[in-house]
Structure 1
């Protein structure tokens, strides 16, 4: 790339970079909440979105302060999302709705998450944060299975602290390194943003296809703590 082409390439991403704080905050908080709260989150590119947001923040003059503040905001969004998912599951009761031949919302996946909670409880909620489809199903299944709310809250909060901030900061410091190679940064940001947009479009499309499939009820067994609470 010639010197004359470089300013043009960088300039083509100026609107994205200048809109950074407001746009990135909106996207990150919305995606994180949805991925931790409702079934739609199963189909959203959450991990790659956090890394992309961190890289975009590295292009902003106040990037370091912004990315640390955003890390805190994303952590809160994840905690609130988990609590929302838990309440949804609690109100649903032991019967959850699965989809026949569904890719994610099927009885097999619900059973796998339920078994993880039965066997490992606190640790399962903690580890679930790093497994995309489990991350979304876990709060609802935990609520439906009657997992102890205090135990769930502590585990999901610790998970939120070490998930969103870590991925955002990985993206930010990777972006800071890319800033040393000016001609590379626009291409990386452009590729990641396009990938994120396409991933979201295809995700919403797959979600709609999944929800059109016939529903079937799936009944959970209460977790050991849930069964104890019921007896009391």
Structure 2
């Protein structure tokens, strides 16, 4: 569980960047790809809670999609520059600090050996994979055009519903802070239930 100091720092950083409006929202979406201190769906929902009208809603979805794309492109460039051996060595040494361990890295890399576009697209809507999938894509030096197209579409599919959820909760006339808190609890519980189900199915099939 994050310490109170870390929680306070994260809250202050989010509030500060949001003071810059749409530019801040885009920066938060990009930063989330490198420092996942908050689950992305919670961050996106809270960004939606700050949206005042439908026009700003569309713009917020657009800038967060662009921010997520920039963050993913950053990992892609890092992987391209490091190459297979150095990238795996870096992950083995430092990956634990950003929740990227060797078994996960190897699974992501293996997935890219088939259907590059669909792996990139579907990977953007899988919580554990979406952050770091661009790294092995860069390591394998996939076609940047395919990567950019699939990542953009995947980020849009992932970001839009959660931003809209936050906007819908705000426009419902309820207290946004209390509503956001309980919605976050519900989303975390849902994710936990899905992970437990997947773990159970994996054990049952082994």
Give the TM-score taking structure 1 as reference length.
Answer: 0.61
1:157 to 152, 161, 168: 152
- Quote the Cα distance in structure 1 between the aligned partners of 2:45 and 2:26: 13
Runs of 5+ in structure 2 lacking a partner? 1-15, 186-206
- Quote the Cα distance in structure 2 between the aligned partners of 1:99 and 1:20: 32
1:76 to 44, 66, 78: 66
CA contact (8 A) 1:28 1:49 kept: no
- Quote the Cα distance in structure 2 between the aligned partners of 1:78 and 1:107: 23
CA contact (8 A) 1:24 1:53 kept: no
Runs of 5+ in structure 1 lacking a partner? 1-18, 196-232
- Quote the Cα distance in structure 2 between the aligned partners of 1:26 and 1:106: 32
Paired residues, what number?
166
Counterpart residue number, 2:126? 131
Which segments of structure 1 move beyond 4 Å, counting only runs of 4 or more?
A: 192-195
- RMSD over aligned Cα atoms: 3.0
Larger helix fraction of residues = 2
Query: Larger Rg: 1 or 2?
Result: 1
Larger strand fraction of residues = 1
- Quote the Cα distance in structure 1 between the aligned partners of 2:147 and 2:126: 17
Q: Larger RCO: Structure 1 or Structure 2 (Cα < 8 Å, ≥ 6 residues apart)? A: 1
Counterpart residue number, 2:141? 146
- Quote the Cα distance in structure 2 between the aligned partners of 1:134 and 1:64: 31
- Quote the Cα distance in structure 2 between the aligned partners of 1:20 and 1:173: 22
Structure 2 counterparts to residues 1-232 of structure 1, below 5 A: 22=19, 25=22, 28-36=25-33, 38=34, 40-41=35-36, 43-57=37-51, 60=52, 63-95=53-85, 96=87, 97-99=90-92, 102=96, 104-177=99-172, 179=173, 182=174, 184-189=175-180, 191=181
- Quote the Cα distance in structure 2 between the aligned partners of 1:122 and 1:131: 15
CA contact (8 A) 2:169 2:179 kept: no
- Quote the Cα distance in structure 1 between the aligned partners of 2:62 and 2:176: 26
